[in-house]
Structure 1
Amino acid sequence: MNKNRILSLISIILVSIFIKPNVVLAANGAEYGVTVKYPENQLKETGERGYFDLLVEPGKEYPLTVEVHNFSKEKITVVGEARRAGTTRTGLINYRADSNESDEVAKKVNLEEELNFDNMFEVKNKKIEIEPESTKDFDIILKIPNKNFEGEILGGLYFHQEKEPSKEEKEKMIINAFSYSVPIILQTTQNKVENELSLGKVEPELRDDHPFISAEILNTQPSIIRKLKIDGKINEKKNGQTVYVRKEDSYQMAPNSVLKYGFDLQDTPIKAGNYEVILNIDADGKKYEFKKDFEIERKESKEFNESSVFLMEEDNNSYIYYVLMILLVGIIVLFIIYNQYKKKR
């Protein structure tokens, strides 16, 4: 694993934002923080909780502002991006550029192009320079499509500091990269839409070079799932034996998004064969049961196993070694007993 990968995997600190009213969000040790400026169309029942929850009208534009504060004694550069919300592999809603919410995913979950948050905003200045111990506004204009829509559109603002790592950070291969997310919920009515889940592809994959079997769970409706419980298992088809299990009780899902629910193989080889995945799901009280057969081919399993640097190979010779050791110990014990018997004679 190269140095850059170690940096990106080990050392990024992500700070999510759900803050108290009128409080600047700032992590300990961070050089900057952000504060939401609430517009008039912020839902009163939501209040000032650190994110935008807006009742909007079709065809209208809405300017939004987030204050970015520089706490340091040096000029800094902060980058702000607006993104459609996605669901991470660990069941979190996120707004980062590396979210799995590609155009391909949008098609899978039946997301209309004009209701895609990625097509509904204009950022005036993506990159802002802030003088020492001062504040600057980050501005975005929301452009609501000319149609009513049911449910919730979820996007967000993602802030991160643009800076060169120090010499010490480079030597230790650790970079303290503080980032903040500000969710944006859009509704033209306050009518909630019921979630609708389906099961997509089930296939092996590597996650940071560790072997997994991944099951795609699709949320095809504009509905935020705030509490998602999943009880999953994978059985071998030939004998019905359960080979992998996983249970989660506190996941979330963004509207019109995909969750790649992974079964961790604990660094054991991916074995070719025929399997069945079974998922029992509770999504905000709505129950689902999914069953799906899938096959892992020999060529496929071989390629994944050869690519995994953490794989613990099964050692078939180990059993022979154990048997030989037991036999050797037994022979030594018998030899000692025999010698003692001869001396007594």
Structure 2
Amino acid sequence: MTKYIKSIIVIMSIMIMYVLGTEAVSAEEMSFSVEAQLPENQRDKSKTYFDLRVSPGTKEELKVEIKNNKDEEITVQIQANTAITNDNGVIDYGEAKPKLDKSLETPFASIAKVEPELILAPNEKKIVTIPVEIPKESFDGIILGGLYFTQKETDKGAKTDAGMQIENKFAYVVGVRLSENDESVESNLELLDVAAGQRNYRNVVVATLQNPMPRILGQMTVNAEVFAENDRKTALYTTKQENLNMAPNSNFGYGIKMANKAFKPGKYILKMVVEADGKSWPFERAFEITADEAKKFNDEAVDLVEEPNDYLMYIIIGGIILVVIIIGLISWMVYQKRKREAELKRKANKKRKRKNKSNGTKKKKPIE
């Protein structure tokens, strides 16, 4: 249940402001506030996040003002995170140690250095400086990441039934977008894998999509269908989602919902069409769900919909057929027996009639 609890904590207990494309959260709602100090090489001064034009081999200094909005001392934790795509098809800046896509050459977290903690007196303001080492080799496209700020809690939250401590945290993310030129990077999309999986203890077919290019792939529409290998006309499961976004050089597992149905071992076909950036990517991939995988996920799944047991149905049908055969066989045997008895009776009657006739027609000797 740990994974399930973590999901609840992320959704309900952590308030995150994504500065890239989101509305600002007022300082009064947060224990602290942050504000990016935009440098001269900021491409658009109207943005509230860092969108910098950089040069190979240079060093950038990102300055962020942090203000304590409380009348007590607080400690702010700071992370420099690489942008990834989470399983909801959303660009995520909050993961400290995510699993990175193999196409990503320069993770933002590897070139930005931060002090992990900052102590602020009551109502104090401080400016923190985060040095960023730009790669010596020139690059096209963008490097995308975020500066992630959370308050360090001193009072632990209540423990759950499983003994896990839940902390209420407030967080800010200041996005960082680095580019060296305006060269257009052509969009692309790959399907890496298809397999059985779970999301929040519910069975899904997971199709792993990859954006291998150093650019954001946005406003994606995904249509997916799953078929049995021996019936490619009738879709077993279908799903459609719109407005998904992928970070540069990232991948994520797109979940095809199964309406809380149990996995069945067998061979299947995924058919998927993804539309974005004025392009369309059709994919078709065969995959198999083994008996061990089906049992494992079905045992862990919650709220499974009860379906008719095919094996029980076959047993019932087989039993009915067997009963019909037995009844038919018994009926045939009874019929044959009666037929033999009737034949024997007919022969006996015929023999008796011949005997009676023979006795009744015997001639008497004449009287001399």
Q: CA deviation at 1:137?
A: 2.1
- What is the DSSP-based 3-state SS (H/G/I as helix, E as strand, rest coil) of the residue aligned with 1:133? coil
- Which of 295, 300, 303 aligns to 1:307? It is 300
- What is the DSSP-based 3-state SS (H/G/I as helix, E as strand, rest coil) of the residue aligned with 1:259? strand
Query: Percent identity at matched positions?
Result: 31
Tell whether 2:194 aligns with 1:196.
Answer: no
Kept in 2, the 8 Å contact 1:15–1:27? The answer is no
Structure 2 partner of 1:177: 169
- What is the DSSP-based 3-state SS (H/G/I as helix, E as strand, rest coil) of the residue aligned with 2:231? coil
Query: How many residues get paired?
Result: 306
Q: Which amino acid aligns with 2:37?
A: K
- What is the DSSP-based 3-state SS (H/G/I as helix, E as strand, rest coil) of the residue aligned with 1:311? coil
Q: CA deviation at 1:187?
A: 0.7
Q: Which amino acid aligns with 2:107?
A: N
Tell whether 2:227 aligns with 1:235.
Answer: yes
Q: CA deviation at 1:18?
A: 2.9
Task: Pick the structure with greater CA Rg.
Answer: 2
Q: CA deviation at 1:153?
A: 1.0
Structure 2 partner of 1:66: 64
Q: Which amino acid aligns with 1:135?
A: K
Gapped runs of 5+ residues in structure 2?
314-368
Q: Which residues in structure 2 correspond to 1:1-345 (within 5 Å)?
A: 1=1, 5=6, 8=9, 11-18=12-19, 25-26=25-26, 29-43=29-43, 46-97=44-95, 101-102=98-99, 105-107=100-102, 110-112=103-105, 115-123=106-114, 125-165=115-155, 175-240=167-232, 241-314=234-307, 316=309
Kept in 2, the 8 Å contact 1:84–1:116? The answer is yes
Distance 1:213 1:53, change over 3 A: same
Distance 1:14 1:263, change over 3 A: farther
Task: Write the distance in 2 (CA, Å) between the matches of 1:284 and 1:205.
Answer: 29
Q: CA deviation at 1:81?
A: 0.4
Q: CA deviation at 1:97?
A: 2.3
RMSD: 2.7
- Greater shift, 6-15 or 216-225, is seen at 6-15
Gapped runs of 5+ residues in structure 1?
321-345
Q: Which amino acid aligns with 2:76?
A: V
Alpha-carbon displacement from aligned partner over 1:127-165 (angstroms, at most 9, x marks no partner): 111111121223210101112111111111111111044
Task: Write the distance in 1 (CA, Å) between the matches of 2:286 and 2:69.
Answer: 55
Kept in 2, the 8 Å contact 1:10–1:174? The answer is no
Kept in 2, the 8 Å contact 1:281–1:289? The answer is yes
Q: CA deviation at 1:32?
A: 1.1
Distance 1:28 1:298, change over 3 A: farther
Kept in 2, the 8 Å contact 1:80–1:138? The answer is no
Task: Write the distance in 1 (CA, Å) between the matches of 2:177 and 2:153.
Answer: 30
Distance 1:277 1:151, change over 3 A: same
Q: CA deviation at 1:179?
A: 1.2
Q: CA deviation at 1:175?
A: 4.8
Please report the TM-score for the alignment, with normalisation by the length of structure 1: 0.81
Q: CA deviation at 1:199?
A: 0.3
Task: Write the distance in 1 (CA, Å) between the matches of 2:278 and 2:225.
Answer: 21
Higher relative contact order structure (alpha carbons within 8 Å, sequence separation ≥ 6): 1
Distance 1:242 1:286, change over 3 A: same
Task: Write the distance in 2 (CA, Å) between the matches of 1:121 and 1:182.
Answer: 13
Task: Write the distance in 2 (CA, Å) between the matches of 1:247 and 1:171.
Answer: 36
Q: CA deviation at 1:282?
A: 1.3
Distance 1:206 1:66, change over 3 A: same
- Greater shift, 207-216 or 303-312, is seen at 303-312
Kept in 1, the 8 Å contact 2:153–2:167? The answer is no
- What is the DSSP-based 3-state SS (H/G/I as helix, E as strand, rest coil) of the residue aligned with 1:11? helix
Q: CA deviation at 1:267?
A: 2.3
- What is the DSSP-based 3-state SS (H/G/I as helix, E as strand, rest coil) of the residue aligned with 1:301? helix
Q: Which amino acid aligns with 1:273?
A: G
